[in-house]
Amino acid sequence: MLSDHRVLVTGGAGFIGAHLCKRLLERGDEVLCVDNFYTGTRRNVQHLLDNRLFELMRHDICFSLYVEVQEIFNLACPASPIHYQFDPVQTTKVSVHGAINMLGLAKRVKAKILQASTSEVYGDPSVHPQQESYWGNVNPIGPRSCYDEGKRCAETLFFDYHRQHGLPVKVARIFNTYGPGMHPHDGRVVSNFIVQALSNQDITIYGEGNQTRSFCYVDDLVEGLIRLMDTSPDVTGPVNLGNPAEFTIRELAELVINLTGSSSRMIFRPLPQDDPRQRCPDISKARELLDWKPTIALREGLVKTINYFDQLLTSDKTGASPAILRSVRAEGKALSGQ
């Protein structure tokens, strides 16, 4: 007997989406996972395919979708710089057209809908830590603006649908998230450092490494998304979801080298345009409204993530064939221009 509660997860075969699908299935929901596999992979949800409550559909949300669901988690969008800058026009389209299509679906079927927004809406912030009331400092014409402004526009659409149509919406602003299932060559700092350290390659740091980030383990993040969706309809957000423990990029590199026992050296490259100097969430709202805070410390989360990458890059334990691993590495080199 199928569940009477059906949940749509767009971008469900991506890093965070796959973890979210797993959690929803564990609590007994019927899950429709939709992904166009631009950055998500079937491999991420392979272990869920035998679950009778799980359905996988290949679909691009830039086009309309006609399904019956009670809730929608809209996670579809490339989220790492090398992926969203590879096709910036399409990145903006999936953020804006995709949001319009998913909001239209939610309106038709009277579903609650959650938007996975991002800390990138704050740009290079002049306020620290970042509160939801801060409007941000974003370059509207820079190389990152396809993602930053696309997500800002999506938030606008969500709140306009809420005000104009009474649609029950939720907006989560997700800060740096890491954990097993990350793409090994997505250009994000945690995956970059771990892959380089496990291969005893030089660890590439941009700038002096003094810029700060706050790293939230994926299980904590997924718990926050579910709590936000399940809370009162009056709680629309936006709500910051992230770990307020702040580390410099250099500190992260040193910790990864230590945990992997790597012989890697740190090398320094020019800082990319519009790279934020500080990024740290104020999670007072999440604590108060969701009774949520991260529980997994960076060292503990890194150990789990390092073990995942070690298996992915050196064995077939994750189900990835040598051909797939070669393809993943080649894709990473192509996208990063190496």
List, for residues 275-332, the tens digit of each pLDDT value.
778 889 999 999 999 999 999 999 999 999 999 999 988 764 434 334 333 433 443 3
Q: Which residue from 224, 215, 214 is spatially nearest to 280, judged by alpha carbons?
A: 214
Can you give the pLDDT at residue 251? 96
Q: Is the dihedral of CA 145, 147, 152, 157 positive or negative?
A: positive
What band does 274 get if pLDDT is binned at 50, 70 and 90?
A: low
Point out the residues that are catalytic. 147
Can you give the pLDDT at residue 261? 95
Can you give the pLDDT at residue 284? 98
Q: The whole model's pTM is what? A: 0.89
In whole angstroms, give the CA distance from residue 104 to residue 92: 18
Dig out the tokens for 67 from the structure.
């399904």
Can you give the pLDDT at residue 3? 66
List, for residues 92-145, the tens digit of each pLDDT value.
999 999 999 999 999 999 999 999 999 999 999 999 999 999 999 999 999 999
Domains annotated for the chain, with CATH where assigned, are 6-332 (3.40.50.720)
